[in-house]
A and B are shown apart, each in its own frame.
Chain A
Amino acid sequence: MDINLPTGAEKLIQCLEREGVEYIFGYSGGAAMPIFDALVDSRIKLVLTRHEQGATHMADGYARATGKPGVVLVTSGPGATNTITGLLTGHMDSVPLVVLCGQQIVSLLGTDAFQEADVTGLTYPVVKHSYLVKDSGDIPRVAKEAFYIATTGRPGPVLIDLPKDVTQGECNAPFIDEDDLDLPGYTIPGRADPARIEEAAALLKSAKRPVLYVGNGAVIAGAGKSIMNLAEKVRTPIVNTLLGKGAADETHPLHLGMLGMHGTAYANKAVDGCDLIMSIGARWDDRITGKLDEFCSNAVKIHVDIDPAENNKILQPDVFIEGDARLAIEDLLPLVETGDTSQWLDQCAAWRKQYPLRYPKQGGLRAQHVLDRLHGITQGHAVLATDVGQHQMWAAQFCLSTNNRHWLSSGGAGTMGYGLPAAIGAQFGCPDKKVWTICGDGGFQMTQAELATAQIHRLPIKCLIINNNFLGMVRQWQEMFFENRYSGVDLEGNPDFVKLAQAYGIKAFRIRRPADVDRILEEAQDYDEGPCVVVAEVVKEDNVFPMIPAGAPLSGMLTEKPKTKLAKPTGST
């Protein structure tokens, strides 16, 4: 062996350094040992997590909060399969991830060797692209392609499976630059077709009741400012999806907040009553449209998306603008005129007044109250990483987002266990920001072991556990649609989360009374010697409203619990 030549693993780490990687979130094991060894001499910092799923969500949180790719390193077999939930989460929400997996040696592939799993085979449906590297000399090319593919166009996860002999063997191949890439099947839409922009402008001009419907594509493209300019020029209300939060300022008078299943009543009424809806990087998901054939059935539809496969996937827009959301809106801006929408805006304002978000002020501590106050204290300037469930929806309703990349939530996959590790990743990426995670007692326990990761690094994340001792969201459905027949939702036997945090040496607070909410949240917000946990012991049974039952039309929105029994929803889940 030529001692001057780097090993495949060393070359790989050099490639990552060239990509500007700061952190790798990982978990070691036999097949990945050469790569872990190469990290010893690298300036890249390794964050040892407590579970590979945690590592993927950390990389995801890092990526969503910074816009830079998140990198994961795990071993073969079970190490690699533990990343699958994180891959799905990232794939559904277009998050740039590069996941490096150790693998058995090439000659043993397919022999059921120890800790061999067909990882590329297992992950095809949840990656944007993947590689099984069989030759050390391919490492520089594969690494360059992986980062390029993960971060460009519609971002997504790229997985690289690296047999141990490939990372151990020497690598003589040169580094590759972006200009040298040979990817004839990969194209990235850039500026939109001017003809489509003109069509959109003409439609906007004749619209009397337009709505801008903003999604994750706008967050990724950083299109928020342009969208605000467009909204102000055309004088159109804005709504956003769960993942679109933060692209455009939700506290702006033109902004009606989140639409969809648990969106605000005024956002849903605006969408239901509009004569033109323009999606900017949103994909007409079933959480948004409800009963599809009644969704905006008479409204003109414009759809801006970087992914041409979104055109006519769910519905056929009148105009599809293929391209980067920010560039498309910038191109559109000079062509639009101030619309005569004052009546429409008045109507939206009236709805906002008539159907405000509200919650009972009596009857014990309520999650809504805690989250409402969290918003009062953070004012949109903290990064909020949520878990999945009722607390997520309440947080989306009450914690209005004013800054891009400050709202991290698993939307497409709805992955419980996402919140805590995502917050950890975000805090690594944004050391100067306040980072909160908002978890349910159920989801928190799925990845709670990552408290150790946060504590070891003294990350000042604040972990707010909304403890209702139930899998609240599912319980709500059972209450509403299954005649209160509770099945598999009671979390009786939860640990004392304050003591649990303390066992990790983590500062912990408990909120029992509404009167304590502000004081404790403020204390947690200011605490920065390390992580802290705030456990809000909230009422056990409470429901998220407004609610559009799955598969119902927007007009079927419930703003409070109906007196009569509801039919089981026809929509998916």
Chain B
Amino acid sequence: MSAAQPLTSTGAGLAPAPALSHMHTLSLFVHDRPGVLVRVAIVFARRGYNIESLVVSPAARAGFSRMTITCSGDPTTLEQIIKQLAKLVDVVHAIDHTGQEVIESEIALMKLECGIDERTQILQIADQFKCRVVDYGPESLVIRSYGSSEKIDALILLLEPYRLTELVRSGKVIMTRGIETT
């Protein structure tokens, strides 16, 4: 912005109207202190934001943790959420990786109640998705799938007709490529 510019408001005014719900992926690096998870959760809850998945794990540096959070809601609220997260005394940084080319993975376990006659079809699907069958029972199969969350979503869609009785997903974990900070 230069002095020569006429005096008109550039970006000023209302924050943009809330767009449709979007999925976002955030990465938090936090000091491992009691209550940090609750404080983080409250920042979302107070603004009516939906957390889809949350993975907490020890960080490379002792005494610190990683939180990978996928959530949905409008981008304007998310901007405020990220700033409020960053403001928490125990949060070292909070980064929005939405739309960024990052390495991401997730694991899912799926229990299907199926008789012998259905197995071939299920195993074919599992094979297509490079899943492993980790438990064979007389009336059930447990399949483990590993990969992107989208791939797991697609697999679930295909398996739902086969009495998918239990589903446990780890939640998405991500890491940036190269030396950029996650």
Q: Check A185 against B11 for contact (C-beta < 8 Å).
A: no
From known contacts A184-B92, A185-B92, A309-B80, infer whether A120 and B35 are also in contact, taking CB-CB under 8 Å. Answer: yes
Q: How far is the CA of A312 from the CA of B12 in the complex (A)?
A: 9
The A contact surface, by secondary structure, is mixed
**Cβ 8 A contact of A301, one of B9, B15, B86:** B9
Q: Check B89 against A316 for contact (C-beta < 8 Å).
A: no
In this complex, the interface size class of chain B, counting residues with CB under 8 Å from chain A, is 20 to 34
Is A498 on the interface with B (CB-CB < 8 A)?
no
Q: Check A309 against B12 for contact (C-beta < 8 Å).
A: no
Q: Check B80 against A318 for contact (C-beta < 8 Å).
A: no
In this complex, the interface size class of chain A, counting residues with CB under 8 Å from chain B, is 35 or more
Q: How far is the CA of A190 from the CA of B2 in the complex (A)?
A: 25
Q: Check B15 against A316 for contact (C-beta < 8 Å).
A: yes
Q: Check A128 against B15 for contact (C-beta < 8 Å).
A: no
Q: Check A124 against B38 for contact (C-beta < 8 Å).
A: yes
Closest residue of chain B to A299, judged by CB?
B9
Q: Check A293 against B87 for contact (C-beta < 8 Å).
A: no
Kindly list chain A residues whose C-beta atoms are within 8 Å of the C-beta of B15.
312-316
Q: Check A300 against B92 for contact (C-beta < 8 Å).
A: no
Give A355-399 as 1s and 0s: 1 = Cβ < 8 Å from B's Cβ atoms.
000000000000000000000000000000000000000000000
**Cβ 8 A contact of A300, one of B8, B46, B80, B83:** B8
From known contacts A184-B31, A185-B89, A312-B79, infer whether A205 and B3 are also in contact, taking CB-CB under 8 Å. Answer: yes
Nearest-neighbour CB distance to chain A for B181, whole angstroms, equals 14
**Cβ 8 A contact of B89, one of A186, A308, A311:** A186
Chain B 1-44 residues near chain A, CB threshold 8 A: 1-3, 5-15, 30-31, 34-35, 38-39, 42
29 contacts between A and B (CB under 8 A): A121-B38, A124-B35, A124-B38, A124-B42, A125-B46, A132-B34, A149-B89, A183-B89, A185-B30, A185-B90, A202-B2, A203-B7, A206-B5, A292-B14, A293-B13, A297-B9, A299-B9, A300-B7, A300-B9, A301-B9, A308-B83, A309-B86, A312-B79, A312-B80, A313-B80, A313-B83, A316-B13, A316-B14, A318-B11
Other contacts beyond A276-B7, A308-B87, A314-B15: 15, CB < 8 A: A121-B38, A129-B89, A184-B64, A184-B92, A185-B89, A185-B90, A206-B3, A299-B12, A300-B8, A309-B86, A311-B83, A313-B15, A315-B14, A316-B15, A318-B12
B: residues with CB less than 8 A from A are 1-3, 5-15, 30-31, 34-35, 38-39, 42, 46, 64, 79-80, 83-84, 86-92
